[in-house]
Chains A and B, each alone.
Chain A
């Protein structure tokens, strides 16, 4: 039988961390670069798609106002996507939250995870709805240009894809995310209860 003081003696024979000062500095730089790179790549991709849409919008003569509205909605969706990404990055990088008292920090994390989950779901729905609405508006123009069976095929495929995405892919994604977030929140709740005085 060992008492606590004997156990404490064991503690003095310890392994040390493999992390050194240089690797931390390397991580700081690479973290900053990765963040900047991700932003640049996303901005370039969104700008390229935006440029293509604007190009089509300006150069192609459209006959119906619905197509013009559709182009506007598409542009709005892309900009909306970009703004959401930027806001997300900004939120994640609010490091000063790590200095809160542990119990306040856990509460903050719980609220943050719940809030960002709900916000992301809402944003995704707005984004999908916007893109779907834009496609619907384009169909009016296509009605005058394309042969009926091509239009029908295009409509069926597009609608099929949206229904499949919404009812199956998104449903499964939401379910998995829901389970993940519930598990996280219950763990955070448990830890928060441990910190109560």
Chain B
């Protein structure tokens, strides 16, 4: 039990920031992102004994986080999904510094991407190695590279569109 505690603490400290970025990029809302982080680590704790080193620990944690995000469905808010994220991010911008304003604009641009694109790009921005991302999504590295290239172009285009206004 004590070993589990120590291991879990280590996993949490090493991965919580990146998992938060992933969840925030996916949900576009700080509260929801915090909830998703919490849910992810609860599942990590509950599955820790079943972890069998078939993959890297971080890959394993990411897989749980990705599945937690993908299974998060905003059924009732669906109609206002994009406007909700954008609105929330705009409110954050009012309170923040100019630098954070740009960060919020970046999150706003990410929220315009498709769900899987949001997750992949936040991993790229957090500099997760490509083979690891490919393993998390269970796709070939070649395929991932093509996707990332497309997503980068898309995100840059959306971000610059926002900056014009």
Is B38 a contact partner of A27 (Cβ separation < 8 A)? yes
Chain A residues with CB below 8 A from B19, complex form: 17
- Residues of B participating in the A interface, judged by any CB pair closer than 8 Å: 8-9, 12-13, 16-17, 19-21, 24, 30, 33-34, 37-38, 41-43, 45-47, 50, 60, 63-64, 66-68, 70-71, 73, 75, 78, 99-100, 102-103, 106, 114-117, 125-126, 136-140, 143, 152, 155-156, 159-160, 163
Residues A182-197 near B (CB distance < 8 A): 183-184, 187-188, 191, 194-195, 197
**B residues in contact with A106, CB < 8 Å:** 70-71
Question: Is A149 in contact with chain B by the CB < 8 A criterion?
Answer: no
The residue from A4, A8, A14, A109 contacting B17, defined by CB atoms under 8 A apart: A14
Decide yes or no: A16 and B138 within 8 Å by CB, A102-B70, A183-B75 being known contacts: no
Binding stretch for chain B, among A40-48, A91-99, A152-160: A91-99
Q: Does A23 contact B (CB under 8 A)?
A: yes
Give the number of residue pairs across the A-B interface with Cβ within 8 Å.
125
Of the A-B pairs whose beta carbons lie under 8 Å apart in the complex, a sample of 19, sorted by A's number, is A1-B160, A2-B159, A4-B156, A7-B106, A7-B155, A11-B21, A11-B126, A13-B103, A15-B30, A15-B103, A21-B8, A24-B42, A31-B42, A96-B47, A98-B47, A101-B138, A102-B66, A194-B115, A194-B116
* Size range of the chain A interface in the assembly: 35 or more
Partner of B137, one of A11, A23, A102: A102
Choose among A2, A98, A187 the residue that contacts B78 (Cβ–Cβ < 8 A): A187
Partner of A191 from B21, B103, B116, B159 at Cβ < 8 Å: B116
Whole-angstrom CA separation of A17 from B40 in the bound complex: 13
Q: Which of B38, B47, B116 contacts A195 (CB 8 A)?
A: B116
**A56 touches B (CB below 8 Å):** no
- Tell me which residues across on chain B come within 8 A of A27, comparing CB atoms: 38, 42
The binding surface of chain A is classed by DSSP as: helix
Question: Hey, which chain B residues are within 8 Å of A167, CB to CB?
Answer: none
Select B67's contact among A1, A19, A98, beta carbons within 8 Å: A98
